[in-house]
Amino acid sequence: MTTDSDPIPDTQLTGYACIQRYVKTLDSSPGVYRMLDADSRVLYVGKARNLKARVSNYARPGHSGRIERMIAATASMMFLTTRTETEALLLEQNLIKQLKPKYNVLLRDDKSFPNILVAKDHAFPQIKKHRGAKKEKGAYFGPFASAGAVNRTLNQLQKAFLLRNCSDSMFDSRTRPCLLYQIKRCSGPCVGLISDGDYRESVKDAERFLSGRSTKVQEELAEQMMAASEAMEFERAAGLRDRIRALTQVQTSQGINPRGVAEADVIGLYMDSGQACVQVFFIRANQNWGNKDFYPRVGVDVSAAEAMEAFLGQFYDNKEPPRQLILSDAIENADLMQEALSEKAGRKVEILVPQRGEKQELIAGALRNARESLARRMSESATQAKLLRGVAEAFDLDGPPNRIEVYDNSHIQGTNAVGGMIVAGPEGFMKNAYRKFNIRGDDLTPGDDFGMMKEVLTRRFTRLQKEDPDRDKGLWPDLLLIDGGAGQVSAVREIMVEHGVEDIPMVGVAKGVDRDHGKEEFHRTGQRPFALKRNDPVLYFIQRLRDEAHRFAIGTHRAKRAKAVGATPLDEIPGVGAARKRALLAHFGSAKAVSRANLADLKAVEGISAGLAQKVYDFFHDKG
């Protein structure tokens, strides 16, 4: 349990004088401290084994430039005492992720990773990709670095073990084998082409392979192939040969398969010119299940130890750590971090910084990847910065924009209308900031693009004014790009005036003569349209932004349309979920037939209680 200290009354002190006032109120308890500026924005979150000693350190000169700037801006502090140092470490990382303080090392890309799931809630288990909480019954294998790594592995596992990947409802409705059986990717359990026992053996073989016992599986398949060949069952022998080849293909694509490391994350950190790249290799069951790079926010005076510790705390905040973490750089609080991760995992987690042997070779590989990835990123950032300077020059902006928002709408004659917003900045497309807007306006004329854009931007600016009224969180755009000409620009300008945000530059991008790609015209309020030269890199950049917005809006529209195609009136009935909807449709054949059914027939459906049958009946017969 934590306790929060009472703040000291505001005395207008800042910097060292402000911090010295707080030192007098602290004891030697472990805990977490926050430094805030004059506007109560959190500048930094830190942990301490001894709060008084740690904060006293800030009250004396002799720090790096980054810390000196932070101290100078500090106008107040907040403290949370904890029972243990480990609890302080966990609380610190939670607060950093939540508050995103300016002076902390911050991990910006923190998505979950996919796993392979062998689902066990059916007589014939299904093998599939899984992301998120592990709520389904079955065996999980992972994490894999990306969806692509999972899909490649699943593709080869289907060839090797012939396990089904279809949904249970599709499995239960089959009367003849599907295409996957024809191309030898499934053994056809849905129509009885393999016995329960043989299918279970295939499932066991797949699990053994994913658990690292691949050699034994391949040896057994090789023995079966030889026996089939000697018995002149050449077709079966060829099938077994293909399965062995598929397993070999999985191992080849994995590249590094260490013998002495069964389960670990190999983490290499490379820093250069105030930027950092962390490369993580996922080793599970003595197999490399892919790698991913991360780019935490650091500064020129952040040490490798500080950056690595911050990365570990934030990365494993919502992920289960493996048995070993193999690091390129030692961290200051290795004992605390090890204790915290072990407590989280419910077993021992070991932190290693190897100097020789196979583990050191793994780190060398991770560092090489990190160095190359950072070099590429810095090169791309330089190009992006040049393009943003070009945008500022082309549209007479005060400076290169840090956040460009691009809007587009998609619909078919007004149906399933959606608006899409994509965001770009100094590091390229900011996909975690993309937003979709389901157009809700009941009073809109079908196909009214002006009205749709008005709704989208009204909702966008209303939310911005609520979430970031002082415009200090980096959520406000420096430039708006609208797909359209003078009419769209005029309509958007009215919306901006209405919301009091006339200071945001806005440009309409319209197709030019003959709607030719490359002859775009740019429209701004009160100015004549103009065009850029065909070979201008800024023109290509604007086209890429506009095309990305179009792609995102169309994709969102298609997803909404596909969902609408599968929708039925049953979706509107409280208590009728996916399983009961399937049961009703399977029993009656269609939603229309359900609507015409009498109460007795509804009660006869498996899984439909008398009370729910009454609800369904009332829904269709009490309307109007």
Please list the residues that pair with 126 across neighbouring strands.
Answer: 119
Contacts of 2 (CB under 8 A, 6+ apart): 31, 32, 80, 81, 82, 87, 91
- What is residue 11's predicted lDDT score, i.e. its pLDDT? 54
CATH topology of domain 569-621: DNA polymerase; domain 1 (1.10.150)
Tell me how far apart the 2 most distant CA atoms of the chain are, in Å.
93
Q: CA-to-CA distance for 208 and 120, rounded, in angstroms?
A: 15
Angle at 179 between CA 176 and CA 180, to 5 degrees: 105
Which structure tokens are listed for 540? 């290509």
All CATH 3.40.1440.10 domain ranges in the chain, comma separated: 3-99
Which structure tokens are listed for 599? 């109460």
Report the amino acid identity of residue 362: L
**Closest C-alpha to 89, from 334, 352, 411, 257:** 334
Homologous superfamily in CATH for domain 263-374: UvrC, RNAse H endonuclease domain (3.30.420.340)
All CATH 3.30.420.340 domain ranges in the chain, comma separated: 263-374, 404-563
Q: Check residue 298 and give left, alpha or beta (phi > 0: left; psi -120 to 50: alpha).
A: beta
**DSSP collapsed to 3 states, 262-308:** CEEEEEEEEEECCEEEEEEEEEECCEEEEEEEECCECCCCCCHHHHH
Q: CA-to-CA distance for 485 and 179, rounded, in angstroms?
A: 49
Which structure tokens are listed for 206? 């797949």
**DSSP collapsed to 3 states, 409-430:** EEEECCEEEEEEEEEEECCEEC
Q: CA-to-CA distance for 117 and 165, rounded, in angstroms?
A: 10
Pairing relationship of beta strands 324-327 and 263-272 according to DSSP bridges? parallel
Instruction: Say whether pTM exceeds 0.85.
Output: no
What SS3 class is residue 28?
Answer: coil
Q: CA-to-CA distance for 619 and 47, rounded, in angstroms?
A: 57
Q: CA-to-CA distance for 497 and 616, rounded, in angstroms?
A: 49
Q: CA-to-CA distance for 249 and 152, rounded, in angstroms?
A: 10
The CA distances from residue 194 to 72, 117, 164, 191, 252, in Å, are 73, 21, 12, 8, 30
- What is residue 510's predicted lDDT score, i.e. its pLDDT? 87
The CA distances from residue 36 to 18, 21, 121, 521, in Å, are 11, 14, 52, 47
Angle at 424 between CA 419 and CA 425, to 5 degrees: 150
Q: CA-to-CA distance for 180 and 167, rounded, in angstroms?
A: 13
- What is residue 327's predicted lDDT score, i.e. its pLDDT? 96
Homologous superfamily in CATH for domain 3-99: GIY-YIG endonuclease (3.40.1440.10)
Which one-letter DSSP state was computed for residue 106? B
Residue with structure tokens 């002799």?
62
Q: Please give the average pLDDT of every successive group of 10 residues along the chain, which has 624 residues.
A: 51 83 91 92 93 92 89 93 90 89 84 87 90 87 84 82 87 87 89 90 84 67 77 74 68 61 93 92 86 89 92 90 95 92 92 93 92 88 91 93 90 67 91 86 63 84 87 88 86 86 89 63 89 88 90 78 64 79 80 84 87 86 60
Which one-letter DSSP state was computed for residue 49? S
Q: CA-to-CA distance for 361 and 555, rounded, in angstroms?
A: 43
- What is residue 78's predicted lDDT score, i.e. its pLDDT? 94
Homologous superfamily in CATH for domain 404-563: UvrC, RNAse H endonuclease domain (3.30.420.340)
* CB of 311 closer than 8 Å to CB of 328: no
Number of neighbours of residue 604 by Cβ within 10 angstroms: 11
* CB of 292 closer than 8 Å to CB of 280: yes
H or E element that contains 79: strand 76-81
User: Is the backbone peptide bond immediately before 143 cis, with ω within 30 degrees of 0?
Assistant: yes
Which structure tokens are listed for 152? 């490649």
- What is residue 5's predicted lDDT score, i.e. its pLDDT? 54
Number of neighbours of residue 138 by Cβ within 10 angstroms: 18
Residue 613 main-chain phi, psi, to 5 deg: -60, -40
- What is residue 1's predicted lDDT score, i.e. its pLDDT? 45
Q: CA-to-CA distance for 217 and 330, rounded, in angstroms?
A: 39
Task: Please give the full DSSP string across 479-544, using - where no structure is assigned.
Answer: EEEEES-HHHHHHHHHHHHHTT-TTS-EEEEE--GGG-TT--EEE-TTS--B---TT-HHHHHHHH
Give 594: exposed, middle or buried? Use CB within 10 Å, 0-12, 13-18, 19+.
Answer: buried
Which structure tokens are listed for 171? 């499995």
Q: CA-to-CA distance for 533 and 458, rounded, in angstroms?
A: 34
- What is residue 516's predicted lDDT score, i.e. its pLDDT? 54
Contacts of 442 (CB under 8 A, 6+ apart): none
All CATH 1.10.150.20 domain ranges in the chain, comma separated: 569-621
Q: CA-to-CA distance for 130 and 134, rounded, in angstroms?
A: 8
